[in-house]
Amino acid sequence: MQYIENIPLRGFTDGKGEFSQVDANDPDLQDIDKRLARISGHAASLRRLWQEGTDCDDILVQISAVTSALEQVGKKILQHHVGRCVEEAVQRGDSEGAIKELRKAVERIY
């Protein structure tokens, strides 16, 4: 098991020996991973655009696109959280804990 600062990581290898939290058999998790990769690329380009002296309006359009993409992937992650984590708590009979967890998750994103 791999660790980061003595915290065990749960996840999968990507077939190349690289560790990943994304289950290759779960299309929802793959979709979230692809969205985050796309966002990462766009966000990284913002600094380059700034350094190159790109017109501010063009940079603001890119910032708006990244912000929107983050909001959309946040919704997807929240849906995943509700569908998996909160549902597991309900199945364990911890409906009060599930409601508390759901409220915390919604507060984090909104």
- Give CA–CA dist 6/8, Å, rounded: 6
pLDDT tens figures, 34-82:
999 999 999 999 999 999 999 999 999 999 999 999 999 999 999 888 8
The residue to which tokens 């796309």 are assigned: 38
Q: Which pLDDT value is given to residue 95?
A: 85
Q: Compute the Cα dihedral for 79, 29, 9, 66 and give only its sign.
A: negative
β 3-4/12-13 pair status:
unpaired
Q: Which pLDDT value is given to residue 18?
A: 54
pTM: 0.68
86 Cβ contact partners less than 8 Å away, ≥ 6 residues apart = 98, 101, 102, 105
